[in-house]
Amino acid sequence: MAVIAVYSAKGGVGKTTIAANLAWCSAHAAARRTLLWDLDPADGAGFMFALEPRRKRQARSLFAGDVTAHALIQPSSYAGLDLLPSDSSLRELDSMLLRMGQRHRIATLGKQLSRSYDRLILDCPPMLNELSAQVLRAATLVIVPLSPSPLSSRAFDFVVEEIRRHTKRPPPTLPVLSMIDRRRSLHLEALAANPTWPAIPMVSAVEMCAVHRRPLGTFAPRSPAALAFARLWDGIERKLAQIEAKTAVLA
Ligand SMILES: Nc1ncnc2c1ncn2[C@@H]1O[C@H](COP(=O)(O)OP(=O)(O)OP(=O)(O)O)[C@@H](O)[C@H]1O
Ligand SMILES: [Mg+2]
């Protein structure tokens, strides 16, 4: 199983939107058994897939081992795609992980899911803390959404540096220019400065995901943004294949 973390220390850069749409691409286009794990107490991923919030707030109990992941996992409306939703109990997750002193708790829980899923996608809160360090240690690949500005390369370098600081074997990273508006010169500059980085357009169709509470591919499959998510997913699959081949050679 590959663990794909959608991570940035910055808020509002499109992490949840990208994680939700990639999870759908993984299950639908790539036919991978996919789990979207929401680690943000804001519960954006559950909302995006129109899940009913559970009355019992148990998301944090999973980390203490008081409840199993399978007891908390909910199916989405789409074949091959399940969710491990968050709830407000995750607000105290960071301090709990620090208290527990198990630096690889998220990785361990992820491994337990590897029999049931091919792809585990992590929607992360915008934090630099023990939780984010654990996410980075667990990740096979880190997707870093960046706001399109001339500073995006610096923002990306900052995340890469953070990853190096917190991991012994830093996972590969894939920067993504999120919310590109080609009418804006600064956005065009960011694209020109980073021509190999995937880009997701800023369009109202993407915002509508949170209104319809469905991934874009289900209601506007031929839209440029849906095609951009599909291309991004293809790029991720290619990168995972490279990582797998490299790991096989080293093994
Ligand atoms: N490509 C896009 N085009 C237009 N709007 C977008 C796009 N991507 C995200 N948005 C909008 O931007 C807002 C923030 O997106 P999102 O919640 O995915 O960011 P986030 O990084 O997960 O935020 P947080 O750090 O608060 O978790 C949302 O209203 C979302 O609908
Ligand atoms: Mg989010």
Stretches where the chain sits below pLDDT 50 are none
Give the C-alpha separation, 207 to 224, whole Å.
Answer: 14
Nearest atom in ligand 1 to the alpha carbon of residue 209 is: 31
Using a 6 Å CB cutoff, which residues line ligand 1? 11-17, 40, 42, 44, 126, 178-179, 200, 202-203, 206-207, 210, 225
- Name 231's Cβ contacts closer than 8 Å, sequence gap at least 6: 198
| Number of compact structural domains in the chain | 1
The pLDDT assigned to 113 comes to 97
The reported pLDDT for the residue numbered 149 is 86
* 3-class state of residue 125 by DSSP: coil
Q: Is 132 exposed, middle or buried (CB count within 10 Å of its CB: 0-12, 13-18, 19+)?
A: buried
Write down the pLDDT at residue 71.
95
Say how many C-beta atoms besides its own lie within 10 A of residue 154's C-beta.
10
Among candidate residues 23, 21, 40, the one with its CA nearest the CA of residue 86:
40
Q: Say how many Å lie between the CA of residue 13 and the centre of ligand 1.
A: 6
Residue 194 identity = N
- Predicted pLDDT of residue 251: 72
Residue 249: the pLDDT is 81
pLDDT, tens digit, 9 for 90 and up, residues 21-68: 999 999 999 999 999 999 999 999 999 999 998 888 999 999 999 999
* Burial class of 150 by CB neighbour count within 10 A (0 to 12, 13 to 18, 19+): exposed
Angle between helical axes of 130-138 and 105-112 (0-180°, round to 10):
40
Nearest CA to ligand 1 atom 4: 202
What CATH number does residue 57 fall under? 3.40.50.300
What's the token pair of residue 197?
């980085």
> For residue 94, what are the domain limits?
2-250
Sign of dihedral through CA atoms 143, 149, 153, 157?
negative
- Residue 204, C-beta contacts closer than 8 angstroms, at least 6 positions apart: none
Q: What is the pLDDT of residue 178?
A: 96
Q: Write down the pLDDT at residue 207.
A: 97
